[in-house]
Amino acid sequence: MQITNSFGEKLGQGEYDFIRFTSLTFEEEEKIIIKKILLVGLWYIQIDPLKRPSMSKVVKMLQGQLKSIPYL
């Protein structure tokens, strides 16, 4: 909780403005890779361990060996 409060205070003081004003541009291929990483990451952190993919499946998904990645 202390980290969250500290972050909120610093954010309110403008200490993280560089994050807000940083403009990132990505090529289409990079956008696909980023989306894949985010989807796999979100799938892997599910509360119910039985719904999480195995690490071997995660590796295959990130390497592109599986044709599709299930949406959450």
Structure confidence at residue 2 (pLDDT): 47
Q: Taking the complete model, does pTM exceed 0.75, yes or no?
A: no
Cβ neighbours around 56 below 10 Å, total: 8
**DSSP track, 31-63:** HHHHHHHHHHHHHHT-SSGGGSPPHHHHHHHHH
Give me the tens of pLDDT residue by residue for the chain, a chain 72 residues long. Answer: 445 667 666 666 666 555 655 567 888 888 888 888 888 888 888 888 888 888 888 888 888 777 666 654
